[in-house]
Structure 1
């Protein structure tokens, strides 16, 4: 079918007000927010209900039209924009944004996939509950995309990834069948747990249209501190001790290098350095409790840190004395991604290794960068509690612009680091997903049997490769 035929067909299915075909209207959906991945399609479709999604997929599957699902378009791996073919559609769920039910008694919430993550958090808060998934893009990312990529964020150390926060899902299969698995049970041992096929599949097996989510008691007390260390080994050692000291209350344990900390302070508005002199390594730690007071937990944290300080492990520590000071600490952390975009061309690596291996990884990665890419500055931010590091090689915009082959440079750099991670039993993708960017790595670092099983699942559910083609899986 040509572009006009596709546009006409989509208009008949969802209506003229639920799609975009003008160039200016479609443009924001054809490029990722970092402006590194681009594509095109015949139109962008905005279904309003699950049945519309099903009708769209039936038509596309029958007529060989590729479908590129899209949420808030906050992917960092090229997974949320179409390819360059043009005879495809983008299916954006932004108009499916209803919170269907909030059940405080059952500690559950059922929402449509287009709900903004921050709105889900707010709805939980309004019934004195917590939905703990939190990340820098929460004001624009959609819960369907969070589940499709098995998003992580800063609370994984306590609550797990997005996968761990789901009770049930509703999904539309590539052939248009609707699977309603919106259960809110904690225990259901009646066969295969099919929801996990779609969580983390990045829309390659079907489209998540709704989800039932776990809620938790809302913390009534918090204690937050920012710590400084002379080296990363001390930072990791202290992080492990904190996890042992506060096993039920530790919700965040974020590692930041001095180079990254300075970038955030340099580019983020209304931030200030809590340290008199920025240490080489910084750890942002937060406790959250459902009993006691913030003052009491802050005192407990202060007492613990005082002992560590006396052992000369911690060089400096600032404990938040108010909610505003806590917010100031987190603003530095949450401003990192946008600040890096302003600083230069940062080639980000979303690796994970066992937590105790972090110092060895950083040492080896630094040596590799110095040897092969001396023009780059190593910049590190990570969720230390679960071993997930965003190891960034920061190039100046001018240097990057002068390179002849960006893709070749990026692959060489990334594989140097991924080899180090793999040797430590780690991964090249901890929370960002695969998208189109990391498809080559799947063939290199995944077991062939594992890849074969994934292809079998894909062939079973999507034999015509209708859904998000060229994403996640290498060509068989």
Structure 2
């Protein structure tokens, strides 16, 4: 009992110290005001907090972490609150101090010659896009949540998006990081150097770590020449295997200009048309669609890009890879086609509850994965309406199930774990990953332990123990706290 009282007294003193440190704008304690910070998009993982703090800069973040570390208070770093795996909430252990980075939202530097941008972790992704565009440059990480997600969260989950096939994931976009470590020390790794072989690449430890090893407070990002000219097309394909063949052809024929290649099942088109104001793009309906884009800048003009797209689709049509299609003739038409793809995730819930997967398999295995995953999932939930869509160019498929029309919500959701196991077993059999771009969080923590090799789990735990031995930094994510 004395230990409990002492712990509570220490925690209370730390909370008071945080209030004094940050001032009235820097913390949120009333439950009604905390609610937006403790809710994640799917509503699967409700949160709680001893206090929500809003530090104004890196030094305040470091001071907050030192106070929490000394008091043994767990901490959860928080970005734009768009994560889908429960990475920013907790119901385990002592109520955490939630550290929102929303006030660290400055662009610190843009170097057009070196094509880099230095930003604080709370910068919204779309703001970064706009700042790069003003310099005639491009930051290629592009997500549906770009208007609200923050770059610190993108880094901490190694976000992907629609242009990974051409530019790579966030991991390839980061040259340097500044990180507050679990004891409050600051690692100043904000380097724009592109070649550095002085030992381990420390920044890579924190990219994709989901805030379990430290808090990213700033980053140096790679930029690329802008690609103002685009050609966008949506085509119908007879099956997923044909989409894979089309992807290989498009990569060869585009001369490196292919910037997006998205697979969409017919059910996905119907979701966007019924619930998101989308327009059915073709006169007939087909089982599968591909949304592809070519983009270019510099000396390559729109006429050349259009010629490449038309030539590609002509060859594909003659070969039977595509059945029908349309090429956008204006920016508005291109945006309408992209709306069909981007509206899927946010509007599927109008079809009832859904069980969602974010997985990756080798590109050559995508067709087999979709076929086998449908069989495995519908064996668990007969009548489930499967919706597969995603990024063919990196093998990342969002494989979702909407509840059967004749099944109640509770009965459907009760089978969630069995569906995950069935689909993830298929992924594992193909040498794939159970998390392609959303992270592990709480949602996939147990499955990670099941599918990761014993050596892989030992390494993950060893890294966590070495950097955060007290397990205070976002505990219970990726690796179980027990």
TM-based fold match above 0.5: yes
Distance in 2, matches of 1:400 and 1:216, equals 49
Give the equivalent residue in structure 1 for 2:465.
459
Trace 1:161-310 onto structure 2 (pairs within 5 A).
161-269=169-277, 271-290=278-297, 291-310=299-318
Give the equivalent residue in structure 2 for 1:91.
99
Give the equivalent residue in structure 2 for 1:469.
475
Distance in 1, matches of 2:320 and 2:184, equals 62
CA contact (8 A) 1:7 1:21 kept: no
Runs (4+) off by over 3 Å = 1-7, 396-400
CA contact (8 A) 2:403 2:409 kept: no
CA contact (8 A) 2:73 2:94 kept: no
Distance in 1, matches of 2:235 and 2:48, equals 46
5+ long unaligned stretches in structure 1 = none
Distance in 1, matches of 2:13 and 2:411, equals 41
Query: Number of paired residues?
Result: 473
Trace 1:304-323 onto structure 2 (pairs within 5 A).
304-323=312-331
Cα offset for 1:55? 0.8
Matching of residue 441 in structure 1 with residue 447 in structure 2: yes
Trace 1:147-162 onto structure 2 (pairs within 5 A).
147-162=155-170
Matching of residue 332 in structure 1 with residue 345 in structure 2: no
SS in 2 for 1:403: helix
5+ long unaligned stretches in structure 2 = 1-6
Distance in 1, matches of 2:181 and 2:142, equals 28
SS in 2 for 1:285: strand
Matching of residue 14 in structure 1 with residue 22 in structure 2: yes
CA RMSD of aligned residues (A): 1.5
CA contact (8 A) 1:345 1:400 kept: no
Q: Deviations over 1:332-358 (max 9, x none)?
A: 111111111222211111111111111
Structure 1 residues 463 and 247: alpha-carbon distance in aligned structure 2, compared to 1, 3 A threshold: farther
* TM-score (normalizing by structure 1): 0.96
SS in 1 for 2:260: strand
Distance in 2, matches of 1:93 and 1:46, equals 6
Distance in 2, matches of 1:198 and 1:387, equals 24
Matching of residue 33 in structure 1 with residue 41 in structure 2: yes
Trace 1:369-388 onto structure 2 (pairs within 5 A).
369-388=377-396
